[in-house]
Structure 1
């Protein structure tokens, strides 16, 4: 094992067709009697915990452990049905790359995502991708995305019995937050413009490489190998 790939989920591996937003709206309505489109909150690249805290701040709800639990449980309960929409899909090339990485003995891969672990599993299992990831760092680990990298590295080392050199660790994500998260641990970063940020917007944050999407497998492996 000499290469570690850490994948973001939303906007990188999959798009959920707005399922997460709708599930959170349902949880807020059913759990707190607030019906709101939540368009004032920037979800991209944030952790679930950060998003929930921002919801509480926006609607003047006390951010107590009980309220976090109520909102997340409502979200998790609503998510599976919301994923059953025609716009939820694996993004071009993502499935093939994840499968290829798993089949190569020298490559380790895990997740680095703002999703809570339970939400990440629901989303990826819906598309048959969860089984490819034995470890990861999740929104359960910290509210701050830049804190997630050390958790992912620790779990990668524990799972594979290898300490990965930082220049052989790649974070693959679709937002500027993924880029700063990689820099926080001295890792390299491949930004993909399959989320809400364009190639030029991502390039302005100085990632190691940018791709418009993951459809070109040869270009991907040339970058990370």
Structure 2
């Protein structure tokens, strides 16, 4: 039995302390030559969706994605030190990732709306990149619809391991994570560590919901790994 756990990044594993919005603003300014008037709409969207909505808020058409992704990666790299200074790992994340990494048959990666380059910036800022197999993950650079990313991760797992995982669980903090898991054919473990309450996550369809990751035993139980 192989379990593939796909972790969301922002507000599930780390707190970015507003640095994400600074990255989107910096990329926007690089591409348009002027700072944005409004903040980027995020809340569980993928980077392509965030930037498309960001441009629409300003009455502009988004340029080709290749240019946008390059600007985002450059902005992410420029803000790495600020993220380290202002951001933090969420309580319990390191302990849970480490404990799960010791479990036979458990493989951990990411499913995040961040482009891969910026997911790596965020995870490596706090040493989490070494606890995950990032080659098996799915990222905003892989598609605009978050639900599509579940299939991307499962295919990468199958290509690397020769078979699909027996179970796939997405761990995330937003209703969009819940929707992505359920429509993408994965199980969902919702964590109310972002702006969404347990009631919000339940209304979105999550059956298993934790307040945070601080109780490793409860996380394992919720993943069906107790015992």
Unaligned runs of 5+ in 1: none
1:143 and 1:75 map into 2 onto residues whose CA distance is 20
Cα distance change, pair 215–36 in 1 and its aligned pair in 2 (3 A): same
Q: Counterpart of 1:132?
A: 131
Offset at residue 38 of structure 1 (A)? 3.2
Whether the 8 Å CA contact 1:56–1:62 is kept in 2: the answer is yes
Unaligned runs of 5+ in 2: none
Question: Which sits farther off after the overlay, 193-202 or 171-180?
Answer: 193-202
Q: Counterpart of 1:33?
A: 33
1:45 and 1:69 map into 2 onto residues whose CA distance is 18
Offset at residue 70 of structure 1 (A)? 5.5
Offset at residue 58 of structure 1 (A)? 1.7
Offset at residue 193 of structure 1 (A)? 0.5
Q: Counterpart of 1:43?
A: 42
Q: Counterpart of 2:206?
A: 207
Q: TM-score, normalised by structure 1?
A: 0.91
How many residue pairs match? The answer is 221
Q: Report SS of the residue matched to 2:24.
A: helix
User: Structure 1 residue runs of 4+, over 6 Å off?
Assistant: none
Offset at residue 15 of structure 1 (A)? 0.8
Offset at residue 4 of structure 1 (A)? 1.5
Whether the 8 Å CA contact 2:23–2:72 is kept in 1: the answer is no
1:69 and 1:5 map into 2 onto residues whose CA distance is 26
RMSD, matched Cα: 1.8
Whether the 8 Å CA contact 1:110–1:156 is kept in 2: the answer is no
Cα distance change, pair 161–132 in 1 and its aligned pair in 2 (3 A): farther
1:175 equivalent to 2:184? Answer: no
